[in-house]
Structure formats: structure tokens, C-alpha cells
Amino acid sequence: MIKQKINSTWLPTILLILGLSTIAFPLYMTIVIAFKQPSEMSNTISGILSLPKHWSFDNFREAMEVTDFWRSLGYSLLITLVTVVLSILVHSMIGYVLGRNKNHNKFYGFVYLFIVSGMFVPFAILMMPLAKETAELGLANWFGVILLYVVFYMPMNIMLYSGYLVNIPLALEEAAKVDGASTWRTYWQVIFPLMKPMHATVAVITALAVWNDVMTPLVIMAGSGVNTLPLAQMNFQSQFGTNYNLAFASYLLSLIPILVFYVICQKQIINGVVNGAVK
Amino acid sequence: MKNDRKRTCLLITIPILLLFITFNTIPLLRGVVYSFTNFRGFGNYEWVGFRNYIDLFSDARVGSSYIFTIKLAIVTTIVVNVISILLALALNSKIRAKGFFRGAYFLPNVLGALVVGYIFNYFFTYLVPALADMAGTGALKSSILAEKNTAWIGIVVVCAWQAVAMNTIIYISGLQTVPEDVYEAGSLDGATGWKKFWKLTFPLIIPFFSINMVLCVKNFLMVFDQIMALTKGGPAQSTESISYLIYNNGMKGGQFGFQSANAVVFFIVIVIISVAQMKFSGKKEEQL
Amino acid sequence: MKGKRLARLLFTGCMLVFAISLQGCGSKKDNSVTEIEIVQYKREASNYFKMVEKAFNDTHDDIHLVINSPNDASAILRTRFIREDYPDIVGIGGDIEYSYYVDAQILADISGYKGLQDIKQSYRDIDESLELVPVEGTFAIPYMANAAGILYNKDLFEQNGWKIPNNWNELLTLCKQIKDKGILPFYFGFKDTWTCLAPWNAIAVGLTEPDTVKKVNRGETTFTKEYAEVSKKYLSLLEYGPGSPFAYGYNDACTAFARGEAAMYPIGSYAVPQILSVNPDLNIDSFVMPASDNSDGNTLNSGIDLQFCVTEACENKEAAYEVLDFLFEDENIQAYADAQNAIPCKEGNFKLASMLDGMKEYIDAGRMADFQDHYYPSEMSVDALLQTFLIEKDVDNFLETFDNNWQRYNRDIIRMVKEYEQNNKE
């Protein structure tokens, strides 16, 4: 038994370490380029992989200036956090309702398919109409962007939540019902906490999608003077010249918050209460 | 009691459904309206009836974009799901430095498209040929992104590289719903490794497998960022995905009406594929 | 209980964020000041425009100028147009995008603006001919032109005693000479499809009439006829480029040229800043693409790179004109030309960047014609067609595809042109 345990942890570890090289190399390149000057760029192997001549944070400082970093970061954080919170509250709720009813009630079955199929609408066809509609409704601002995100990620999150529900026994709800709790209370007191690992998953997936998204804010907020980080980062590129060094520095900076968020969330994915509760 | 449940469910569903209709269904219908016009994206337009739809089916460029996109979606979905399941199992086992590994494998997903594009372009253009040279093989001498027949492989690699993280997370959260006693029961029976996985674990994570399949197929059918970052549709228009055409010709070019028709058809195609997928995996779930 | 607490926590957090963010709104502008907004598409010139914006606002109390230089401006303009959120002035290129805007009646007639008198006639003519069908009025004031030909490494040329070629044969001879020395004559970055257009335009301008596209639209000729020589000549340059030109992008090509890996790079003057960022000491000059077989038959490829249009929706045209006056002050024009190696469209004695020395003679003499691709609709993706052509090297197939696609993508325009012809005959 003991021997087997050792084998079963060493094999995955070795494979994981090998796999890591596919991530370490791009990361190394990103960091090295972020510290170099444009004049240190070249097309030769040794030229691109060599360490920068001087380690200085000038690129980072300049990148922060170009993107108006703190302000853009503020808006990115605002939009991402509000979207994530709303997603967890709203999507888990509707995911629960649809997940529990879709198989034996035609109406909910239809609503489920209706919303989930919304996931497959190519964004390009929505862009123009949405730009027009949000402007008409006075929502051509960051709040409109959040509303749109809540709608865009609803189909995927509903799928995730209702998929997760399959493994939560009905008996738990019925027990609460016998105690006289309303459906609303049963949901928030029994089901919602049980779905914690899925909340964390949804939080990570939604946050990541929102954090990196350029299109929606571009279409909805263009010209409003408000930038998110990815929007501001578009300033590094133009057709006739891209300052990769500044851009890479900037991307490294914007990577940190979402990585921290992920590390916090992933603990929740694993330490879910389900394992104990479902037994 | 029954009434309370019904009322609560409706009270939750209706406002959310309305919100969804406002920001998804209505704009979609407006888009459908544009598909019957020769709208450029601004200015005046005329009704052209079904001209755009008729053109769609005779347009070789649109046709080859469907073939390319579907090929890419199938191959990438398989690659990603195989890797993700393995990775999820590895990351879920009792290894050291779990947190570190999980963080590291998440990284590809966070790097912006510009960075990914630059690095992989460099990788395929300079590094791979140099390595191939050192290894003494004649193959891979020039960038695979420069060849019509191989460029799509480069896109598969990058798509998979980026998408594995997301799918792994979903599989990991699926593995959390597998009770410990299932494993224990398995090992008592002497089931080990693959057998244990197929017989005991996999059936329990089928809902997550089907979610991942649907998400993968959908995401890769809609592939856009990776195309922009790597090839911009080239070489020789061999990697023009459907979304790339819709965006490039509809939003940036003057074909908004025509590409709206393309988007409508595309939407219908994906819905059919995905509903079929869901029905199929739904049956599987019930069987188990 | 746990769930409720969690939910409440999330709600509170949500409200808090709302409250904080709402405080940010609320500062309104003074009503007596007219605000003029410019959206211009030359992202790389954003520093210049920031400077202009500041200088203007420092000297004007009644007008507040805002200049936006977004990346991907055409997508941004479109979404703003559909929202009916029009900027007062747009800075765009003299290409088909402009033709569409004129046709969509988004732009105002500015023929009353007196600054137009100072603009070189040749550039005003270009704007006229860009209109899909002739429209009464003037809708743009050209600001800067660019020129495309061949950039060359001056030091390499001087060391080896190479001469600037004056006709096609001399160019090919030069390429052979360079190749014999073991140096790569040309670098290409054809992985970025748009760079395929640069040599194409430069060759086409010398071998075809400027109004080729219009003639095709009127049904008087075909591209198969007009572009045959251009295609063949373009193809013959390929053997003097890198072995696998489709592996390298624009950025790779700029870097390689900057590092002295090739003697020439057929691209526009806009590439110079990117090249110099890699190697600031490189000595770059340029010459006109000698596409013609006769030494005096060449034409410089030059079009309007940036022009300003006042939108129909602009409420205060006088204020917009005042902004234009400021932009067109000699001093500002010179500053732009210096920063971007551009060619001013205004009459006057401006100093041109040194890498345009080789083209100066043509510019002064006005021996210039517009880029052919300024008339191509972007959705036809001529750049991608060219890349395909260069890969497959099949001239006949390429020209046939070109003609077929042209008819297909320009159907509505061709119909419009024909209707116009019909009406004006009667």
C-alpha cells in the first residue's frame, strides 16, 4: 500500500514538472522582453533569449504612465468584481431553478435551452445593435458593460450550476422543507453554501473572461473617456509600430491581480463542503 | 408548500429572463433584420431580400472558413479535453506544491493576446526551425505558420495551450463532487489506475465532461483572438475562421449586412451542433 | 446560516463599490465653452496630437479641444456613428473609408473653409476622385501625405558603390549585384498580409493609370488587362527576398532591416520610426520604385495619409474651423512632418525628413499618383489575395480571381456608378 502511494504521487509530479516547461518558457520570454529596450530586440535566438543589459523598471514606469494605470486598473477591478458578485448571486439562483425543474417541466426546459443557446450567438452580430441599444437606454458606460457581462456569461454559468446540482441530493432540500423553510430560504441556507466550489469556479472563469475582454468595453464605452486595462493596452499597438517592451511590461502588471484572485479562489474550489455534506 | 415553490421559481425566472431577452434576444433580432439589407455599418441602406443568404452559399471564402473552423474545433476539442482530464487528475491527486502547480498551469490563460501572439510567432518562426536544424531533420525547416497546409496546426497548439487551464478548472471542480468513498470502494475491489477512472470516477463527472465538450466546441467554433494573434487569416487565406470573417469584413469592412447573414447561419449551425451534443450527453447521464 | 451571511457580504460589497464609483461622476463642464472633439486614426502620432491639444487649450478660452487617437479607430468610429455620438472632426486617411463616409452623408461640406486655398491642388484632386460618384462639395482637408517606394540602407550602398536604379532593368541588375555580394537584396514581411500591398502599390502606380479602378467600375476595362504587367514584375522580386518571406511579419522585417540583414525594404516611410527604434544609428534613405522600363516613366506613390473632415453633426462649425486653423499653422505642420516623416499637403516651404531625400525631386515636381489600394474595399481583402498570389505564383489565376471578386464585392458601387453615368448622359 505505501509503495503504491509513493508511485501515485511521484508520477503525476514528474509529469507536471515536465509540462511546466511549456509555461516557463513563454513566461521567461515575457519577463525578459518586458525589461529590455527596443534597441536590444533582434531576430536571432541568442539575441531574444539573452538577459537584458540593465535591469530597470523604466519600462514598467512608462507603461503605467501610458495606460494611466491606476485609473484603468480601478475601472477594470470595478467592472470585474461587480460582474463576478452579480454572476454568483444571479446565475446560481437561476441555475438552481432551471437545473431542478428543466427535466420535468416543459416551460423551464424551454427557458434553459433558450438561455443556453444564447451562448452561441456570435458577438459580432450583437455588437452594432447593442451599441445602439445601450446608447438609447443611457447605458453606454461601465454600468452598461457590467449588465451586458451578466447577460453574456449567464448561459455558461447556468450550465455549470445546473451541472453541479446533479450531484447534490434532493434529500437535503426536502429535509429543509419538512422543517417548514420556504423555497427561498432553503435555497440560500442549504443549497447556496453547498455550491461553494462552483461559486469559486464561476468566479474564476467569469473574472478571467471579463478581465481580458476588449470588445465589449470598446463597443459600449468608446469615446466615454473611461478605459479598462485591456482597452488602455491597445495604445501600445498600431499598424506601423508596436512597442513590445512597454506592452509586455504592461501585460505583466495586469496579470498580477487576476493571478492573485485565482489563487484565492482555487482554494475554495478544492476545499468545498460538498465532500463532507453529500455523504 | 407546492405553491410557494412555484411562485418563487417564477419570481426568479421572469425578471432574469427579461434581462436576457433585452440584451441578447432583441439585439440578435435586430441583427437578423440587418441581414436582409446591404447595410455597411453606417449610413443608409436598402433591403435586398434574401440576396445575402443566397450569396453565402455560393461564396467560396465563406465555405472554406466553415471547413477550417470545424476542423480546428474538432481537433482542438479532443486535444484539450484529453490534456485537461489528465491534468485535473494530476492536480487533484495528493501531490506536493499543489497550489503552485495550479497557479502555474493557470498562467497561459491570463497572458494577453498580444503577448501570446508575439511569443508563439517567435517560437514557430525562429525557435522551432533552429531546433529542427540542430536535430538534423529537414522537416520543420520553415515556420509551420508560413505553410498553407500546416498553419492550422499552429493555431491548434496555441488554442489548446490557452484553453487547457479553463477546462482543467472545470474538471477539478467536477472531481470535488466525487465522494472519497467511491475511491476507497474502488481500491478495495482492486481497481487501479485507468480502470478505476473509467469505471468509477468518470461516470460521476460526466456532467462536467459534457459541459466542457459544449464549451470547447463553442469556443473553438468561435475562435478569433488566436487567429488575430497568429496568422490574421493567412497564409493564403487558409486560416480564416468564421468569426474572423464576420468581424473583419462586417465590422471593419463594408459588408455588415452580408456578414450578419453569415452570423445568423453560423448561430443556427452552432445551436444545432450543441443541442445535439447536449441531448447526447444528457442521455448518457440518465443511463448511468 | 452560512449561506445567508455569505450572500449578505456579497451584497454589501456590491453596494459599496457602487457608492464609491458613483461619486466619481458629477463634474460638468462650463456651458460658455464650446467643446470640439477630434477622433483621429493615426495612433502612432498620438504624442504629437497630445501636444497640439495642450497648446490649443492653453491659448483658447472659448473652445476646449479634445483629441482622441485610439487604436482601431475605424471600429470605434463605426460604433459611435451607430450610437449617433459623432465627434466634431474626424481625422482619417484618404481611402475607401472616406469614400463610404461621403456616400453616407456623415461629413459636412466644408468648401466655405478658407484654409482649403492653401492646400496643394494635387491632393484636393485625390479627394475629389475618391468620391464613389462625383458629389457637389468638399468634404475633407488633406493634412499629410505619405510616400511608398523602397527604403535602403545608405551605408551599405555607399560601401559597395551601388547606384540608385532608374528603371526596372537597373533594379534587377542591382538586385543581382547585391546578391552576388552575399547580401540579401530585399526583406519582406509577408506574414502580415497588409505589407504585401506596399510593393504592389508602388509598382502599380508606375504602370497603370490612376483611374484604373474607376474605369473598371464603368466597365471600360478589366484588371486582367491592367494588372498583368504589375503582377509579373512583382513576382520577379520574390527571388531577391528571404527564402520564406511568409514566415516573417512586419515587425520581423523592420528588425531585420534595422540590423542590416537586407539592403532594401520595399515599404512606406511610415516604417522608419519602427526601424529606428531597433537601431537608431541606421542611415536610411529611399527611392521611387523604378517600375517603368523607361528611366523617365516612373511615378512616386503618394496618397493622403491623414485628412480632417468636419461631421455633419458638428454644431459649431466656426469653432471647428478655428481648430483646423490651428492644426494647419505652419509650425504645427512642420512638427508633424518631423515626427512622422510625413509630407505636408499644404503649400509652403516645409523641410522634409532626410529619408525622403531620394523622393524629393518627384514631390517637388508633383510626379505622384495615389495608392491603388485606396480604392479597394477592405472586405475584399486584396492583401490576402496578393499573399495567396505570391505563394502560388499563378498570375492568370490571380487576375481572374481579382476580377471576379471585384465584381462581387463592389456590386452596389458598380450599380451606383452605372446609374450615375446613365443619368448624366441624358
Q: Which residues of chain B neighbour C381 with C-beta distances below 8 Å?
A: 233, 237, 248-249
For the four alpha carbons of C214, C403, C294 and C359, in that order, the dihedral sign comes to: positive
Q: Please, which pLDDT band fits residue A41 given cuts at 50, 70 and 90? A: confident
A153 pLDDT more than 90: yes
CB C372 within 8 A of CB C213: yes
Query: Of the candidates B17, B27, B278, which has its C-beta nearest A126's C-beta?
Result: B27
Q: According to the model, what pLDDT value does residue B189 have? A: 59
Q: According to the model, what pLDDT value does residue A10 have? A: 75
> How open is the CA angle A255-A256-A262, to the nearest 5 degrees?
90
For C133, the 3-state DSSP assignment is: coil
Q: Please, which pLDDT band fits residue A1 given cuts at 50, 70 and 90? A: very low
Contact C193 B233 (CB under 8 A): yes
A16 pLDDT more than 70: yes
C9 pLDDT more than 70: no
Q: Which residues of chain A neighbour B24 with C-beta distances below 8 Å?
A: 118, 121, 126, 151-152
Domains of chain A: 1-56 (no CATH), 63-278 (1.10.3720.10)
> Least CA distance to B146: which residue of chain C?
C247
List phi, psi (to 5°) of C29: -85, 160
Contact C381 B38 (CB under 8 A): no
- State the count of interchain CB pairs (< 8 A) between A and B: 256
Q: According to the model, what pLDDT value does residue A111 have? A: 94
Residues of C within an 8 Å Cβ radius of B: 74-75, 78, 81-82, 96, 100-101, 103-106, 191-193, 243-244, 246-249, 252, 377-381, 384-385, 387-388, 391-392, 408-409, 412
Which of A240, A250, A268, A274 to mutate to probe the C interface, most C CBs <10 Å? A240
Enumerate residues 181 to 240 of chain A having a beta carbon within 8 A of any beta carbon in chain B: 182-184, 187, 197-198, 200-201, 204-205, 208, 211-212, 230, 233, 236-237
Enumerate residues 153 to 182 of chain A having a beta carbon within 8 A of any beta carbon in chain B: 154, 156, 159-160, 163-164, 166-167, 177, 182
Instruction: Looking at the complex, report in whole angstroms how far the Cα of residue B231 sits from the nearest Cα belonging to chain C.
Output: 7
Query: Of the candidates B40, B43, B234, which has its C-beta nearest C193's C-beta?
Result: B234
For B37, the 3-state DSSP assignment is: strand
Q: Which residues of chain C neighbour B41 with C-beta distances below 8 Å?
A: 78, 81-82
- CA of A262: how far to CAs of A80, A122, A272, in Å? 13, 28, 15
Give the cell for residue C371: 495608392
| Predicted confidence (pLDDT) per residue in C202-261, tens digit | 999 989 988 899 999 999 999 999 999 999 999 999 999 998 889 899 989 999 999 999
Q: According to the model, what pLDDT value does residue B184 have? A: 63
Q: What is the CATH number of domain C34-146+303-357?
A: 3.40.190.10
Q: Please, which pLDDT band fits residue B188 given cuts at 50, 70 and 90? A: low
The arithmetic mean of pLDDT across residues C334-356, rounded, is 90
Chain B partners (3+ C-beta pairs within 8 A): A, C
Q: What is the DSSP string of chain A?
A: -HHHHHHHHHHHHHHHHHHHHHHHHHHHHHHHHHHS-GGG--SSHHHHHSPPSS--THHHHHHHHHTTHHHHHHHHHHHHHHHHHHIIIIIHHHHHHHHHHTTT-HHHHHHHHHHHHGGGS-HHHHHHHHHHHHHHTT--SHHHHHHHHHHHTHHHHHHHHHHHHTTS-HHHHHHHHHTT--HHHHIIIIIHHHTHHHHHHHHHHHHHHHHH--HHHHHHHTTSS---HHHHHGGGEETTEE-HHHHHHHHHHHHHHHHHHHHHHHHHHHT-SHHHHH-
Kindly state whether B185 is in contact with chain A, defined as any CB-CB distance less than 8 angstroms: no
Kindly state whether B5 is in contact with chain A, defined as any CB-CB distance less than 8 angstroms: yes
Instruction: Looking at the complex, report in whole angstroms how far the Cα of residue C49 sits from the nearest Cα belonging to chain A.
Output: 14
Instruction: Give the residue extent of every domain in chain C.
Output: 34-146+303-357, 148-301+373-425
Q: Does domain C148-301+373-425 have CATH number 3.90.1150.10?
A: no
For C183, the 3-state DSSP assignment is: coil
Q: According to the model, what pLDDT value does residue A276 have? A: 38
B186 pLDDT more than 80: no
C416 pLDDT more than 50: yes
Crossing angle of helices A154-165 and B151-175, in 10° steps, is: 40
ipTM: 0.86
Percent of chain C with pLDDT over 90: 67
* Among A222, A178, A232, A215, CA closest to A68: A232
Instruction: Looking at the complex, report in whole angstroms how far the Cα of residue C394 sits from the nearest Cα belonging to chain A.
Output: 29
Contact C388 B236 (CB under 8 A): yes
Chain A partners (3+ C-beta pairs within 8 A): B, C
A72 pLDDT more than 60: yes
Q: Which residues of chain B neighbour C311 with C-beta distances below 8 Å?
A: none
Q: According to the model, what pLDDT value does residue C8 have? A: 56
| Predicted confidence (pLDDT) per residue in A227-275, tens digit | 899 888 888 877 777 888 888 999 999 989 998 898 888 777 765 434 4
How many other CB atoms are found less than 10 A from the CB of residue B75?
17
Q: How many whole angstroms separate alpha carbon B26 and alpha carbon C189?
A: 44
C18 pLDDT more than 70: no
Q: How many whole angstroms separate alpha carbon B266 and alpha carbon B257?
A: 14
Enumerate residues 53 to 82 of chain B having a beta carbon within 8 A of any beta carbon in chain A: none
Q: How many whole angstroms separate alpha carbon A243 and alpha carbon C160?
A: 33
C166 pLDDT more than 80: yes
Q: Which helix (H) or strand (E) holds C322?
A: helix C317-327
How many other CB atoms are found less than 10 A from the CB of residue B173?
30
CB C78 within 8 A of CB B251: yes
| Predicted confidence (pLDDT) per residue in A96-134, tens digit | 999 999 888 899 999 998 999 888 888 888 888 898 899
C165 pLDDT more than 90: yes
- Range name among A80-89, B100-109, C13-22, C393-402 with the lowest pLDDT average: C13-22
The arithmetic mean of pLDDT across residues B141-148, rounded, is 84
Q: Please, which pLDDT band fits residue C25 given cuts at 50, 70 and 90? A: very low
CB A226 within 8 A of CB A218: no
The arithmetic mean of pLDDT across residues B110-121, rounded, is 84
Instruction: Give the residue extent of every domain in chain B.
Output: 59-115+151-287
Give the cell for residue C205: 502606380
CA atoms within 13 A on the CB side of C417: 18
CB C273 within 8 A of CB A241: yes
Q: Which residues of chain B neighbour A129 with C-beta distances below 8 Å?
A: 26-28, 30-31, 34
Q: According to the model, what pLDDT value does residue A4 have? A: 47
Whole-prediction pTM = 0.86
Q: How many whole angstroms separate alpha carbon B232 and alpha carbon B225?
A: 9
| Predicted confidence (pLDDT) per residue in C87-103, tens digit | 999 999 999 999 999 99
| Predicted confidence (pLDDT) per residue in C83-140, tens digit | 888 999 999 999 999 999 999 999 999 999 999 999 999 899 999 999 999 999 999 9
C366 pLDDT more than 90: no
Q: Please, which pLDDT band fits residue C387 given cuts at 50, 70 and 90? A: very high
| Predicted confidence (pLDDT) per residue in A190-238, tens digit | 899 988 888 998 999 899 999 989 889 988 887 777 889 988 888 887 7
| Predicted confidence (pLDDT) per residue in C272-322, tens digit | 888 998 999 999 999 999 999 988 889 999 999 999 999 999 999 999 999
CB B178 within 8 A of CB B204: yes
The arithmetic mean of pLDDT across residues A165-186, rounded, is 84
Q: According to the model, what pLDDT value does residue C83 have? A: 84
Give the cell for residue A27: 513566461
Which of A120, A162, A254 to mutate to probe the B interface, most B CBs <10 Å? A120
Q: According to the model, what pLDDT value does residue B5 have? A: 85
For B62, the 3-state DSSP assignment is: helix
Which of the 8 DSSP states describes residue B94?
Answer: S
- CA of C361: how far to CAs of C269, C287, C298, in Å? 16, 10, 12
Q: Which residues of chain C neighbour B231 with C-beta distances below 8 Å?
A: 191
Kindly state whether B234 is in contact with chain C, defined as any CB-CB distance less than 8 angstroms: yes
The amino acid sitting at B57 is: F
Which of B23, B195, B265, B283 to mutate to probe the A interface, most A CBs <10 Å? B23
Which of the 8 DSSP states describes residue C373?
Answer: G
Q: According to the model, what pLDDT value does residue A37 have? A: 87
Q: According to the model, what pLDDT value does residue C28 have? A: 43
Domain B59-115+151-287: what homologous superfamily? MetI-like (1.10.3720.10)
* Among A190, A249, A265, A271, CA closest to A37: A249
Q: According to the model, what pLDDT value does residue B138 have? A: 67
Q: According to the model, what pLDDT value does residue C26 have? A: 39
Contact B111 A272 (CB under 8 A): no
The amino acid sitting at C376 is: Y
Q: Give the pairing of strands C184-186 and A241-242.
A: unpaired
Contact B235 C191 (CB under 8 A): yes
Percent of chain B with pLDDT over 70: 92
